[in-house]
Amino acid sequence: MPLDTPPLAPSENTDGGSGEQQARVRDLNSRLRHHGATDVLRVAFEAVPDLALVSSFGADSVALLHLTAMVNREVPVLFIDTEMLFAETLVYQQEVAERLGLRNLRIIRNADIARADPTGLLHRTDTDACCAQRKTRPLQAALQHHGGWITGRKRFQSGQRAGLDFFEVEAGTPRIKVNPLAYWTPSDVADYIDENRLPRHPLVAKGYPSIGCAPCTSPVMPGEDPRAGRWRTLDKEECGIHFVNGKAVRSGAST
């Protein structure tokens, strides 16, 4: 796969990109159909201007972080600190960033959270509003400076992700989403982490296969869906960072 891919120019169309941009995305997906995640990342860094990686440093995030670091250690890595994360997540984030040599880690927070959630209890009465204030809005503000972002989404996570491609135009914005692990299976992820001797999030061993904010995440029992511990008693499956027209894409899968 030649890597002299011309860049995808940012579109002024905010309803899903220009026709030319959509055509380029379709072409990239066709050309890379039988290629692996590393090739996808190499092409992405040539094709998408100002590309960033968004990571929760969650249960299996280290696989994508390692893959990306092998291609470009200078990539901006956006980590959203909701100020309600597990202490283990914050420690793990620091350890992984240091181990992988991530040189451009950016901690994203909502500077206005004291006004938006003065008591810190918004999650008890309106979890969607809490996620919007602590995660979605600060991320969208940070992404305004980038032409696209790398995600860890995968087809096996079901729902609207079942037809996921390597490249897509983000709905409602001119940005490109890059999904290098789109075709990976759960065993692919586990094998990659084991083969490269990468550290797992410490809460995985304690029954947390999907990890978000501490107040809204609980352990998962054997046989339960891996997402069962997220917003356990609520009709909610996504925090909202993957959305269409401002609404969360509820695919029942992790970020």
* Model confidence at 93: pLDDT above 60: yes
**End-to-end Cα spacing for the chain:** 29
pLDDT band for 235, please (50, 70, 90 cuts): low
Q: What pLDDT score was predicted for residue 252?
A: 31
What is the sign, positive or negative, of the torsion defined by CA atoms of 74, 94, 189, 142?
Answer: negative
Per-residue pLDDT, averaged over 9-22, amounts to 58
* Model confidence at 184: pLDDT above 90: yes
Q: Which of 43-57, 161-175, 201-215, 230-244 has the lowest mean pLDDT?
A: 230-244
Structural domain boundaries in the chain:
19-204
pLDDT band for 250, please (50, 70, 90 cuts): very low
CB 116 within 8 A of CB 186: no
The number of C-alpha atoms within 13 Å of 108 and in the hemisphere containing its C-beta is 23
Q: What pLDDT score was predicted for residue 239?
A: 53
The chain-wide mean pLDDT, for the chain, equals 85
* Model confidence at 14: pLDDT above 50: no
* Model confidence at 134: pLDDT above 70: yes
The number of C-alpha atoms within 13 Å of 243 and in the hemisphere containing its C-beta is 18
* Model confidence at 148: pLDDT above 50: yes
Task: State the Cα–Cα distance between residues 72 and 69, nearest whole angstrom.
Answer: 5
* Bridge-based pairing state of the strands 176-178 and 148-150: parallel
pLDDT (tens digit, 9 = 90+) per residue, 47-80?
Answer: 999 999 999 999 999 999 999 999 999 999 999 9
Closest CA to 238 of 254, 216, 223, 215: 254
Closest CA to 89 of 67, 111, 58, 112: 58
pLDDT band for 227, please (50, 70, 90 cuts): confident
Q: Which of 15-19, 172-176, 187-191 has the lowest mean pLDDT?
A: 15-19
* Model confidence at 17: pLDDT above 90: no
Given 130, 131, 216, 239, the catalytic residue: 239
Q: What pLDDT score was predicted for residue 12?
A: 41
Concerning whether 239 is annotated as a catalytic residue, the answer is: yes
Closest CA to 181 of 255, 237, 94: 255
Q: Which CATH number fits domain 19-204: 3.40.50.10800, 3.40.50.620, 2.60.200.20, 1.10.1740.10?
A: 3.40.50.620
